[in-house]
Amino acid sequence: MTGTSSAKTTRTAEAAAGVVTEFFDRYRVHDVDGMTDLFSINAGFSYIPVEMWGKQRVLRGEGTVGTVGKPLWFGLIASFPDLSNTVHTVLSNDDGDVVVQADIEGTQQGAWGLITPAGKHYSEPHLFIFHVGPDLLIDRITGYWNDAGISQQLGHHEVD
Protein backbone atom coordinates (compact mmCIF):
# COMPACT_ATOMS: atom_id res chain seq x y z
CA MET A 1 0.00 0.00 0.00
CA THR A 2 1.40 3.36 -0.92
CA GLY A 3 0.47 6.91 -0.04
CA THR A 4 -1.55 8.03 2.89
CA SER A 5 -5.01 6.94 3.73
CA SER A 6 -7.65 9.37 4.87
CA ALA A 7 -11.08 8.85 6.26
CA LYS A 8 -13.61 9.30 3.51
CA THR A 9 -16.71 11.25 4.24
CA THR A 10 -19.97 11.11 2.41
CA ARG A 11 -22.24 14.10 2.51
CA THR A 12 -25.80 13.04 3.02
CA ALA A 13 -28.73 15.01 4.33
CA GLU A 14 -28.33 13.27 7.67
CA ALA A 15 -24.60 13.95 7.86
CA ALA A 16 -25.10 17.64 7.02
CA ALA A 17 -27.79 17.94 9.69
CA GLY A 18 -25.45 16.26 12.15
CA VAL A 19 -22.72 18.84 11.57
CA VAL A 20 -25.16 21.70 12.10
CA THR A 21 -26.62 20.10 15.21
CA GLU A 22 -23.08 19.88 16.57
CA PHE A 23 -22.66 23.60 15.82
CA PHE A 24 -25.60 24.47 18.07
CA ASP A 25 -24.40 22.05 20.76
CA ARG A 26 -21.03 23.83 20.84
CA TYR A 27 -22.72 27.25 20.71
CA ARG A 28 -24.79 26.27 23.74
CA VAL A 29 -21.64 25.61 25.81
CA HIS A 30 -19.90 28.74 24.41
CA ASP A 31 -17.20 26.75 22.62
CA VAL A 32 -16.58 29.39 19.93
CA ASP A 33 -13.32 27.83 18.77
CA GLY A 34 -15.12 24.50 18.46
CA MET A 35 -17.93 26.18 16.53
CA THR A 36 -15.53 27.71 14.04
CA ASP A 37 -13.72 24.38 13.65
CA LEU A 38 -16.89 23.14 11.93
CA PHE A 39 -16.48 25.72 9.13
CA SER A 40 -14.23 25.76 6.09
CA ILE A 41 -11.41 28.30 6.15
CA ASN A 42 -13.19 31.07 4.25
CA ALA A 43 -16.76 30.15 5.10
CA GLY A 44 -19.25 32.89 4.31
CA PHE A 45 -21.12 34.63 7.11
CA SER A 46 -24.27 36.69 6.79
CA TYR A 47 -26.39 37.82 9.72
CA ILE A 48 -29.00 39.79 7.79
CA PRO A 49 -30.37 41.99 10.63
CA VAL A 50 -26.93 43.16 11.73
CA GLU A 51 -26.35 46.67 10.40
CA MET A 52 -25.01 49.74 12.16
CA TRP A 53 -25.74 53.02 10.45
CA GLY A 54 -23.11 55.71 10.82
CA LYS A 55 -22.96 59.13 9.24
CA GLN A 56 -20.97 57.97 6.23
CA ARG A 57 -21.16 54.21 6.17
CA VAL A 58 -23.18 51.19 7.17
CA LEU A 59 -21.49 48.27 8.89
CA ARG A 60 -23.20 44.99 8.07
CA GLY A 61 -22.97 41.49 9.49
CA GLU A 62 -21.46 40.22 6.26
CA GLY A 63 -18.10 38.64 5.65
CA THR A 64 -16.48 35.41 6.68
CA VAL A 65 -16.92 33.33 9.81
CA GLY A 66 -13.31 34.05 10.80
CA THR A 67 -13.42 37.82 10.41
CA VAL A 68 -17.02 38.68 11.30
CA GLY A 69 -18.76 35.63 12.75
CA LYS A 70 -16.25 34.63 15.38
CA PRO A 71 -15.82 38.13 16.88
CA LEU A 72 -19.58 38.58 16.86
CA TRP A 73 -20.14 35.27 18.71
CA PHE A 74 -17.45 36.15 21.26
CA GLY A 75 -19.05 39.56 21.75
CA LEU A 76 -22.53 38.13 22.18
CA ILE A 77 -21.34 35.67 24.82
CA ALA A 78 -19.44 38.42 26.65
CA SER A 79 -22.55 40.61 26.77
CA PHE A 80 -24.95 37.74 27.48
CA PRO A 81 -22.98 35.29 29.68
CA ASP A 82 -25.93 32.87 29.86
CA LEU A 83 -26.48 32.92 26.08
CA SER A 84 -28.23 29.74 24.97
CA ASN A 85 -30.18 28.23 22.11
CA THR A 86 -33.12 25.91 21.70
CA VAL A 87 -33.24 24.14 18.36
CA HIS A 88 -36.78 23.38 17.18
CA THR A 89 -36.27 21.93 13.69
CA VAL A 90 -33.27 20.86 11.60
CA LEU A 91 -34.13 20.01 7.99
CA SER A 92 -31.58 19.13 5.34
CA ASN A 93 -31.13 17.80 1.84
CA ASP A 94 -28.46 15.85 -0.03
CA ASP A 95 -27.12 19.08 -1.56
CA GLY A 96 -25.85 20.11 1.87
CA ASP A 97 -28.51 22.71 2.63
CA VAL A 98 -29.63 22.79 6.26
CA VAL A 99 -32.50 24.96 7.53
CA VAL A 100 -32.80 25.46 11.27
CA GLN A 101 -35.47 27.06 13.42
CA ALA A 102 -34.05 27.99 16.79
CA ASP A 103 -34.62 30.38 19.64
CA ILE A 104 -31.61 32.33 20.87
CA GLU A 105 -31.85 33.75 24.38
CA GLY A 106 -29.74 35.44 27.00
CA THR A 107 -29.60 37.94 29.83
CA GLN A 108 -27.73 41.15 29.14
CA GLN A 109 -24.81 41.87 31.46
CA GLY A 110 -22.69 43.99 29.14
CA ALA A 111 -23.17 46.59 26.41
CA TRP A 112 -24.41 45.20 23.11
CA GLY A 113 -24.17 47.71 20.28
CA LEU A 114 -25.93 50.82 21.54
CA ILE A 115 -27.93 48.88 24.13
CA THR A 116 -26.78 49.49 27.68
CA PRO A 117 -27.10 46.51 30.02
CA ALA A 118 -30.15 46.52 32.28
CA GLY A 119 -30.06 42.86 33.27
CA LYS A 120 -32.99 42.06 30.98
CA HIS A 121 -33.58 38.76 29.25
CA TYR A 122 -34.47 38.16 25.61
CA SER A 123 -35.60 35.15 23.64
CA GLU A 124 -36.09 35.54 19.90
CA PRO A 125 -36.95 33.08 17.09
CA HIS A 126 -34.23 32.73 14.46
CA LEU A 127 -34.02 31.01 11.10
CA PHE A 128 -30.58 29.84 10.01
CA ILE A 129 -29.60 28.61 6.57
CA PHE A 130 -26.40 26.59 6.40
CA HIS A 131 -24.58 24.99 3.53
CA VAL A 132 -22.36 22.03 4.29
CA GLY A 133 -19.71 21.15 1.72
CA PRO A 134 -18.73 17.67 0.49
CA ASP A 135 -15.96 17.65 3.13
CA LEU A 136 -18.65 17.99 5.83
CA LEU A 137 -17.46 21.47 6.75
CA ILE A 138 -19.95 24.32 6.79
CA ASP A 139 -19.10 26.79 4.04
CA ARG A 140 -21.91 29.30 4.61
CA ILE A 141 -24.20 30.47 7.41
CA THR A 142 -27.03 32.98 7.02
CA GLY A 143 -29.22 34.15 9.88
CA TYR A 144 -32.62 35.89 9.95
CA TRP A 145 -34.43 37.28 12.98
CA ASN A 146 -36.24 40.35 14.21
CA ASP A 147 -33.72 42.60 15.94
CA ALA A 148 -36.51 44.96 16.99
CA GLY A 149 -37.87 42.16 19.16
CA ILE A 150 -34.53 41.78 20.92
CA SER A 151 -34.10 45.54 21.44
CA GLN A 152 -37.53 45.94 22.95
CA GLN A 153 -37.12 42.95 25.26
CA LEU A 154 -33.87 44.50 26.48
CA GLY A 155 -35.64 47.81 27.18
CA HIS A 156 -34.09 49.70 24.28
CA HIS A 157 -36.77 51.56 22.37
CA GLU A 158 -34.72 53.66 19.97
CA VAL A 159 -34.54 52.52 16.33
CA ASP A 160 -30.78 52.97 15.93
Partner 1 sequence: MTSSVDTVTPTQTVQAFLDAFAAHDVDAAMAVVDPRVSVTVHPLGVHEQGAGALRTVLADLLRGFPDLMITVSRVITTGDVVTALLTAEGTQAAGYAGAINTEKHLDIEQAWRFTAGGGLITDVAVYWCQAQLYRRLAVKRYDEISIA
**Degrees to nearest 5, angle at CA 132 with 131 and 135:** 155
Residues paired with 128 in a beta bridge: 100, 143
Query: Residue from 32, 76, 99, 136 that binds partner 1 (CB under 8 A)?
Result: 99
CA–CA gap between residue 139 and residue 133 (Å, rounded): 6
- 76 is a contact residue toward partner 1 (CB under 8 A): no
- 101 is a contact residue toward partner 1 (CB under 8 A): yes
Q: Between 116 and 152, name the residue whose CB sits nearer to partner 1.
A: 152
CA–CA gap between residue 91 and residue 83 (Å, rounded): 24
- 103 is a contact residue toward partner 1 (CB under 8 A): no
- 135 is a contact residue toward partner 1 (CB under 8 A): no
Contact 143, 51 (CB under 8 A): no
Q: Residues in the site for partner 1, rule: CB under 8 A?
A: 13, 48-49, 51, 53, 91-93, 97-99, 101, 125-127, 129, 142, 144-149, 151-152, 157-160
